[in-house]
Amino acid sequence: MEPQSSGGTTSEARWETARTDDGVVVVARFHNPPLNYMTGAGLTRFGELVEEWADPEVRAIVIAGGEPGVFITHFSVEELLGSLGPMAERGPELNYRVHAISTALNDLPKPVICALNGDTMGFGFELALSADIRIGQRGDHRYGLPEVRLGLIPGGTGTQRLSRAIGPAAALDLLLRGRVLDPEAALERGLIHELAEDALATAERLAATLAGYPRTALAAAKRIVYQAADLPLASALRMEADAAFRAKVSPEAAAAMERYLAVPPAERRAWLEEGA
């Protein structure tokens, strides 16, 4: 991968992006040593990156931390504390910005994978919850939303995404206690999808695999899950039927089914399993 200058930041916080040689997978790594606190400038640049990833040539995205042992620890408390005066006048402007970026990430018609290669708390974990797939990394790391310990609550979609991911009761247990979990406990509770010795390498391999899948089907599956989550079942099923039909009649689907039929029957289960 060839690194590209991220630009657009005014502090130590910066995003470094790189593409695979074929250009279809983007890896974005956040740097703000030593603890990788997110900042306003870093958030602004991330919003710009999400817009850039709408490029049809990009088929999958991986987000990771760029400092040893850290994904994103949390949002800079120094910056939050210093902005309390102006924030009181402007209202929840920062929260709305985060909500918009999170929604834009969900609206991307391609997989977004977070490689939680270190401590991931507060805003960092909210960002991870906004991704489609979360891969944790074995080690002495902590994941979670400890905001109540600082007199705050997760305001960057965290309360809602957490409760939708694991249910209200389980979410309240974590939120009210301000609990943070090690990677194994996070996997057991359903906060992450997979544990790996090297989360970034695993995420990159998965992104390369998904980038080779028919893009119409991936986009449809992602869209229907996010858009129909809060609809009555009958309405959601109508959306599913329409999305399934559109995927089925796409040229990519016909080509993929023909590839499957070309596999000897005795090898087809292995072929289906291989992509997972």
pLDDT value at 84 more than 60: yes
Name the residue with tokens 């489609």: 132
Give, in degrees to the nearest 5, the angle at Cα 66 between 60 and 68: 130
Q: What is the mean pLDDT of the chain?
A: 92
The single residue of 126, 184, 197, 273 carrying the catalytic annotation is 126
Q: What is residue 82's predicted lDDT score, i.e. its pLDDT?
A: 85
What pLDDT, on the 0 to 100 scale, is given for residue 88?
67
Q: Are 30 and 36 in contact (CB under 8 A)?
A: yes
* Residue 267 is among the residues annotated as catalytic for this protein: no
Give the dihedral of Cα atoms 177, 178, 184, 187; nearest 10 deg: 90
* Residue 87 pLDDT greater than 80, yes or no: no
Helix 158-166 / helix 123-130 crossing angle, nearest 10 deg: 50
Task: Express each pLDDT in 198-253 by its tens digit.
Answer: 999 999 999 999 999 999 999 999 999 999 988 999 999 999 999 999 999 999 99
Superfamily of domain 2-211: 2-enoyl-CoA Hydratase; Chain A, domain 1 (3.90.226.10)
Strand 143-144's sheet: what is its strand order? Answer: 70-72, 119-121, 143-144, 180-181
Q: Is the pLDDT of residue 1 over 80?
A: no
pLDDT score at 81: 87
Domain ranges of the chain: 2-211, 215-274
Confidence band for 102, pLDDT divided at 50, 70 and 90: very high
Question: CB neighbours (10 Å) of residue 20?
Answer: 18
Indicate if 2 belongs to the active site.
Answer: no
pLDDT of residue 90: 75
Catalytic position from the list 12, 147, 240, 252: 147
For the ranges 3-12, 28-37, 242-251, which has the lowest average pLDDT? Answer: 3-12
Residue 178, class by beta-carbon neighbours within 10 Å (0-12 exposed, 13-18 middle, 19+ buried)? middle
